[in-house]
């Protein structure tokens, strides 16, 4: 559409309207987009810039984006501190486990919803959808008692199972939607050859559902990586804390090491940012499907 900018005549001989009008619109849209980009990205840029400063320079007057004392000190401090590295390890263990287990459980439930008619299907479906609206704060108090009884307090398993309660409904809904787009003939054909439903699911449906599973997996990973409330309440010792709690603990110390907090934040955001850069399409698919399709 922008190529129309060359002035000329249409086939019918009517002179084309001169195009400055389009250029004007284009400039206006770009100006709007730049203003929006400042709103969205400048705070993030400031975080990045601050992570390279000395702590004494954080509130320098006047503030400088690029500092004179540019250094990686904050990063070195964090990456050589075993306590903080442990936060990262914990976050990876929990988030990856949640992602794999959620996918494993969800594809089976989704297969049942997509391929079978059974008594109670509608009710179970409504329950799965509405469970997403249960406020975490409501579950928190009984969880506190429950994880102690189940001997899951301050363990990976406690966090992993808890997070699955929040990731599973979304994953089931998404995967059901994905399976519904795949023709039934595919798995019926395998069953004709005498294979059972599990074979049909694992051999036929799952291999062609990888894009859907990537979307769901990324979304699940992000929820688990970012969770705060339960990580705060269901773990106690420093060696079980996750990255979000680690960031909060930095803030709780007597002196505010802002540069370290920013560096830790950048490091804490890297996994999600990397996933986003490499899988942007799937990411956006995961974000929109909920509201647009269902």
Partner 1 sequence: MSTSQTSPRAATPTVTEPAARRARSRARLRRRLTPYGFLSPTGVLLIVLMATPIVMVVGYSLMDQVITNKNPAFVGFDNYAEVLSDPVFYTAVRNTLVFTISSVIAHFAIGLGFALMLNSPYLSNRTKAGFRMLYILPWLFTVAIIAVLWRLLLNPNGVINYILGSTGLTDGRTEWLSGTGTALAAVTFINIWSGYPFFMISLLAGLQGIPRDLYEAAKVDGAGVWAQFRNVTLPQLRPIIISMALLDFIWTTQQFALIWMTTGGGPINVTEVLSTFTYKLAFTQYEFSVASASAVLVLLMSMVLAFFYVRHQKARD
149-188 positions binding partner 1, by CB under 8 A: 161-162, 164-165, 168, 172
Does the footprint of partner 1 cover residue 106 (CB under 8 A)? yes
Does the footprint of partner 1 cover residue 189 (CB under 8 A)? no
Does the footprint of partner 1 cover residue 10 (CB under 8 A)? no
Residue whose structure tokens are 């129309």:
4
Q: State the helix-helix crossing angle for 82-115 and 210-226, rounded to 10 degrees.
A: 140
Find the part of the chain contacting partner 1 (CB under 8 A) among 9-17, 66-74, 204-212, 261-269. Answer: 261-269
Does the footprint of partner 1 cover residue 280 (CB under 8 A)? yes
Cβ nearer to partner 1, comparing 85 with 294: 294
- Helix or strand (DSSP H, E) at 210: helix 210-226
Minimum CB distance to partner 1, residue 252 (Å): 10
Q: State the helix-helix crossing angle for 136-149 and 156-180, rounded to 10 degrees.
A: 130
Options 8, 62, 183, 207; binder of partner 1; rule CB under 8 A: 62
Q: DSSP assignment of 52-97, as one string? A: TS-GGGTT-SS--SS-TT---HHHHHHHT-HHHHHHHHHHHHHHHH
Q: Residue 81: phi, psi to the nearest 5?
A: -95, 110
In the region spanning residues 211 to 250, those forming contacts with partner 1, defined by CB under 8 A, are 222, 225-226, 228-229, 233, 243-245, 247-248, 250
Does the footprint of partner 1 cover residue 11 (CB under 8 A)? no
CA atoms within 13 A on the CB side of 123: 3
Options 73, 93, 272, 279; binder of partner 1; rule CB under 8 A: 272
In the region spanning residues 65 to 104, those forming contacts with partner 1, defined by CB under 8 A, are none
């Amino acid at each position: 559409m922008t190529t129309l900018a060359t002035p000329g005549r249409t086939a019918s001989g009517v002179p084309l309207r001169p195009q400055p009008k389009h250029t004007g619109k284009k400039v206006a849209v770009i100006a709007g987009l730049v203003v929006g980009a400042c709103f969205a990205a400048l705070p993030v840029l400031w975080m990045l810039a601050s992570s390279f400063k000395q702590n004494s320079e954080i509130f320098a007057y006047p503030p400088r984006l690029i500092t004179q004392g540019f250094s990686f000190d904050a990063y070195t401090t964090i990456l050589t501190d075993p306590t903080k590295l442990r936060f990262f390890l914990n976050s990876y263990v929990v988030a990856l486990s949640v992602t794999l287990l959620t996918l494993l459980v969800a594809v089976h439930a989704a297969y049942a919803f997509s391929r079978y008619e059974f008594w109670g299907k509608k009710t179970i479906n409504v329950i799965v959808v509405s469970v997403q609206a249960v406020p975490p704060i409501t579950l928190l108090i009984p969880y506190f008692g429950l994880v102690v009884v189940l001997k899951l307090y301050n363990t990976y398993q406690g966090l992993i199972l808890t997070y699955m309660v929040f990731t599973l409904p979304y994953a089931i809904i998404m995967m059901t939607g994905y399976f519904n787009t795949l023709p039934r003939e595919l798995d019926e054909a395998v069953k004709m050859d005498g294979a059972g439903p599990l074979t049909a699911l694992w051999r036929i449906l799952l291999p062609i559902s990888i894009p859907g599973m990537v979307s769901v997996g990324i979304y699940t990973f992000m929820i688990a990586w970012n969770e705060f409330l339960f990580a705060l309440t269901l773990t106690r010792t420093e060696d079980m804390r996750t990255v979000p709690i680690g960031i909060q603990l930095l803030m709780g110390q007597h002196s505010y090491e802002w540069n370290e907090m920013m560096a830790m934040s950048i490091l804490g955001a890297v996994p999600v940012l990397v996933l986003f850069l490499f899988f942007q399409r799937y990411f956006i698919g995961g974000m929109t499907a909920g509201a647009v399709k269902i």
